[in-house]
Amino acid sequence: MELRLNIPTATSQLTSKQFRFISNLYLMYYSEREFLLKAFLYLSGLKFVHWKEAADDGARWFKHNDCKETFLIEPSILVSLSEKCRFLFHGGEYQPLHWIKMARARHYRLFNATLDEYLMAENYFFAYVETKKEEHLDNLISVLYRYPWQRWDSSKIQLRALKFRTVDPAVKNSVFMWYVGFRGFVPKRCPNLFSGKGSSGKINIRNYINGIIHQLTEGDITRKRNLLKQPAWDALDELEQRAYEIIESERKIKSRQNS
């Protein structure tokens, strides 16, 4: 008997159902080995046959939807196969759950978000990371998910967040994981902006947000309202270009000094 097991090889390939399951695994505080094993069984579609006793060598009986027969898998082989799920520990981007309580997710890379939405998401993300207070995670969800009939209004975030308080913890955690993956993509697209030069380590989110606004408005506070309505990536790409020009200018000056 030959059975081919196909599983995702990157976090971006997870279906919504798979993503929710993996998100829940992270909340269960399993050991690394248990996590990998449970992830592999779910993603591969293998199911443990509880009513059959293990073989003398410890092999367990399993079944799969693509096979009518039950079959034995030795523990060592199962451990080896579960290593294929180690990519889950290496980070990466996730495709978010499309809907939460009739609210729809923004683009997974926030290509359809305004600068205001991006800065608000950053604010609540860091608030949750630092405090672990669920209210900040609810606020993050209210930024990243929007009801189709609603327009963006930053003053109503906390009010809208109340509707997400009863959402399943695994679903909430999936939003956090999605945003972590998104934040891993941003430096790849804007390597000069996020080069880390001059960084003192821990980020001050208030200074970070104020710094972005100050740079893009060039100190003209009257431009802030319109700026926040602009696409987030227009702003980040502009900052990336400025960072590149500064780095290039410094490189040329240093080159002249050394010549």
Are the beta carbons of 235 and 149 closer than 8 angstroms?
A: no
Q: How many CB atoms lie within 10 A of CB 106?
A: 21
Closest CA to 179 of 90, 109, 123, 113: 109
- Residue extents of the structural domains in the chain: 11-89, 99-248
DSSP 175-190: HHHHHHHHHHHHHHH-
CA distance 233 to 197: 21
From first to last of its 259 residues, the chain has per-residue pLDDT tens of 567 788 999 999 999 999 999 999 999 989 999 999 999 999 999 988 877 776 766 788 888 887 778 888 888 889 999 999 999 999 999 999 999 999 999 999 999 999 999 999 999 999 999 999 999 999 999 999 999 898 899 999 999 999 999 999 999 999 999 999 999 999 999 999 887 654 445 677 788 888 889 889 888 888 899 999 999 999 999 999 999 998 888 888 888 777 6
With b for 16 or more beta-carbon neighbours within 10 A and e for fewer, the 142-169 pattern comes to bbbbbeeeeeeeeeebeebbebbeebee
Tell me whether residue 26 is exposed, middle or buried, using C-beta atoms within 10 angstroms of its C-beta: 0 to 12, 13 to 18, 19 or more. middle
Residues facing residue 103 across a β-bridge? 100
